[in-house]
Structure 1
Amino acid sequence: MTENGITARDDGVFAVSGQVTFQTVPQFSGQTEKWLHSGNGRVTIDMQAVTLVDSAGLALMIEWLQLARTANREIGFTNIPGQMRDLIRVNGLEQVFQLD
């Protein structure tokens, strides 16, 4: 089982792992400081190790976009899981998350 969390990598990428759901979003929110105030350049959130998502996970991603904007940080998401891509499309947010 993959542990839920955010891990900083040397290349300025922050890897999200585990389940990003209604039950775990508070845990991820508590780890936002790891990347939000870690520097002043672009932040990349790698979601390759995410195993399960729901609408609360999408709400968290939107919150991260807003927090990054407030902190004058550019943010991008990579390796967005198919389940999350479906939620993004259903909610008409393809341009917000720059999905192809």
Structure 2
Amino acid sequence: MNSACSLTIGEDGCGRLEGALTFASVPGLYHHARDLLENQKSFNSLDLDRVTTADSAGLALLLEWQATQTTPANKLPIRNAPAGLISLARLCEADEFLDLSARSSGQ
């Protein structure tokens, strides 16, 4: 099983995650995102459409990124979250804070 998860930032400012958002991938992804932000490449939303699986480490990373937003108006929109991540966020009572939107039913 591939434990990698990549982050690319489009010209539209959308951060797109692809792969497994898990304990194995989160440390590297965290450092990669930090390097991007230090080089003035920020993202204004996240698209999780290509996330294959996510666990509590992935949830923690999303919580960290959401918490770094400076005001409630700057909330980071997170789209196309996998059902398992939404369930985990609900279980931890973090779903409202993250404001995850689910993948469309056609996927």
TM tier relative to shorter chain: 0.7 to 0.9
2:87 is matched by which residue type in structure 1? D
Residue matched to 1:7: 8
Q: d(CA) in 1 for partners of 2:75 and 2:25? A: 25
**TM-score, with length taken from structure 2:** 0.76
Deviations 1:37-94, CA, capped at 9 Å, x for gaps: 425xx71011100001100100111111122338xx5422111111100111111122
> Structure 2 unaligned runs (5+)?
102-107
The total of aligned residue pairs comes to 97
* 1:45/1:99 CA distance change after superposition, 3 Å: closer
Q: Taking structure 1 as the reference length, what is the TM-score of the superposition?
A: 0.81
Show structure 1 runs of 5+ residues with no match: none
Q: Percent identity?
A: 27
Structure 1: distance between partners of 2:47 and 2:69: 15
- RMSD of the TM alignment (CA)? 2.6
Moved over 4 A (4+): none
Q: Distance in 2 between matches of 1:3 and 1:99?
A: 22
